[in-house]
Each structure stands twice: as C-alpha cells, then as structure tokens.
Amino acid sequence: MADPARNLSSPVRPADAAGLVLIRAARNAEPEILLGRRHMRAGFLPDIYVVPGGRVDASDSRPSGFPESLAPGVATSLASGGSRRPALAFPRAALRETFEETGLLVGTAGTAARTPALPVWQAYAAARLVPDFAQLDFICRAITPVTSKRRYNTRFFLGDGALARGEVRGDGELEDLGWRPVSALSGLNIVDVTEYVLQEALRRWRARAEGNGHPAGIEPPKLLNYRKDIMTLSRHRARPG
C-alpha cells in the first residue's frame, strides 16, 4: 500500500472513510463475505479485492431520517477517534457506500421517522426497511501509510449479511462483485489491512453465530497503523488523523 517515492516530509493528510464487512451463512453453513475487485484504472489499490466502502461525505453528517441508535460501545469508540465529524457519520457512510457500490440495503422491516433526503435513505424507505445501525460492530480503524499518495483514515464495521436485501449490482466502482466463501479467500488478491479486517470480522461473527453472546460494541476496535511501512496494531484512542 505504500509509495516509496512519496516525500516523507510532507505526508498527505488522510481522508475520513468507512467500510462495511457483510458476512452471512451459506446453505452449507460456510460463512460468505461480500467482496469486489477494484478495477485496474483505480487510483488506489487497483486490482485488489476489498469490502464496500469509501470516503465520508459532508452529507453523511446529516440524520438519515431513521432511528440511529448505535451500540453504546460502538458510539463511545467512534466519538473518541480523533475526528470532528459526528460519530454517526461513519456508519451512515458505510451503509451508503455499500448501497452505491453493491445495490444492497442492510436493514430490518420498518418505516422512516421522517422523509429521507438522500437517495440511499429514500431507497430504504421505498423498500420499507430500517438501516441496521444498532447491530453494526466497530472492528477497527486503519490509517494508510504516510508514504502513500492517497491516504485514508477508515473505520471498518461488521454487518449482518443475512439482513442484506436487494440484487447484487453496483455503480462500476467494484468488479467481480459477489458473495465468496471463506475457503476461497486465499485465492484472492487482498492487502494486509483487508486480511486483518476479514479475520477479525469472522471471529466476531462466528462468536455471535455460535450463541456465545458477543453483541456489537463489547470489544473495543483496534488501530491499524504503519511504522516504516509495516502494519502495527495498537489500542484505538483519541488522536488526530
């Protein structure tokens, strides 16, 4: 992910971003994860398999029009992440990007509290679905190396793939988009951050699926950062991006 040619004296400030890992149980009980490949012309991670996600937009700071109660632990961790954005901007962005890139809505039956303004929330309202904010788990925050030309400060969330509604399609951002069994992941071109995110998401998903409790927010997220282009893990804490 690093660009050795980048001048280390003037690193790019990372842009806030959000991603969503969707996992569901297949008919043979093997977990499946929704992944797509970034196209060869992409300016960041070309030809790499990723989960849906992208930049946080200014519009993500505005209420969706639906109930937006996050799990307490998730809300606390997001609020202490060193961003001036409201905590809910990140899960909103993750759900919005997932809809735009895959066509899927992740929610339960219900109606909006007030008329949504953005297309993504209008799509939820039209489908009579309520976005699944309460069950989203905050897996980790990952910051792109300072040597990269494009940098992101990404919050990754875990969502219930069984609640995904709609036909898998996209806006062209991701190619070869689809649900993939865990056993097939080793054959995909995946970077170290995504590999960690998927492993951690699977661990939490399995704990929940096996009836071991593990509600959203019970575990604090990790911070993924780079030192000399080597990925390191540390405690998620309040710090500027």
pLDDT band at 9, cuts 50/70/90? low
pLDDT band at 170, cuts 50/70/90? confident
Whether residue 3 is predicted with pLDDT greater than 50 in this model: the reply is: no
Q: Average pLDDT for residues 87-102, to the nearest whole number?
A: 97
More confidently predicted of 130 and 230: 130
Domain that holds residue 177: 15-235
Q: Average pLDDT for residues 46-54, to the nearest whole number?
A: 91
Q: Output the 3-class SS for the chain.
A: CCCCCCCCCCCCCCEEEEEEEEEEECCCCCEEEEEEEECCCCCCCCCCEECCEEECCHHHHCCCCCCCCCCHHHHHHHHCCCCCCCCCHHHHHHHHHHHHHHCCEEEEECCCCCCCCCHHHHHHHHCCEEECCCCCEEEEEEECCCCCCCCEEEEEEEEEHHHEECCCCCCCCEEEEEEEEHHHHHHCCCCHHHHHHHHHHHHHHHHHHCCCCCCCCCCCCEEEEEECCEEEEEECCCCCC
Q: Is residue 80 part of a domain?
A: yes
Q: Is residue 36 part of a domain?
A: yes
Residues in the chain, total: 241
Portion of the chain with pLDDT greater than 70, in percent: 90
pLDDT score at 42: 65
- How does pLDDT run across 210-221, given as a tens digit for each residue? 877 779 999 999
Q: Is residue 10 part of a domain?
A: no
pLDDT band at 239, cuts 50/70/90? very low
Beta strand 222-227 with 137-143: parallel, antiparallel or unpaired? parallel
CATH code: domain of residue 226: 3.90.79.10
Whether residue 189 is predicted with pLDDT greater than 50 in this model: the reply is: yes
Q: Is residue 3 part of a domain?
A: no
pLDDT score at 236: 65
Whether residue 171 is predicted with pLDDT greater than 90 in this model: the reply is: no
Q: Is residue 117 part of a domain?
A: yes
pLDDT band at 75, cuts 50/70/90? very high
Q: Is residue 120 part of a domain?
A: yes
pLDDT score at 195: 94
Query: Whole-prediction pTM value?
Result: 0.90
pLDDT score at 100: 96
Q: Is residue 2 part of a domain?
A: no
Portion of the chain with pLDDT greater than 90, in percent: 67
pLDDT score at 230: 73
More confidently predicted of 61 and 114: 61
pLDDT band at 43, cuts 50/70/90? low
Q: Is residue 26 part of a domain?
A: yes
pLDDT band at 237, cuts 50/70/90? low
More confidently predicted of 115 and 238: 115
Q: Which residue has the tokens 């991701």?
A: 174
More confidently predicted of 208 and 3: 208
In the chain, the number of structural domains is 1
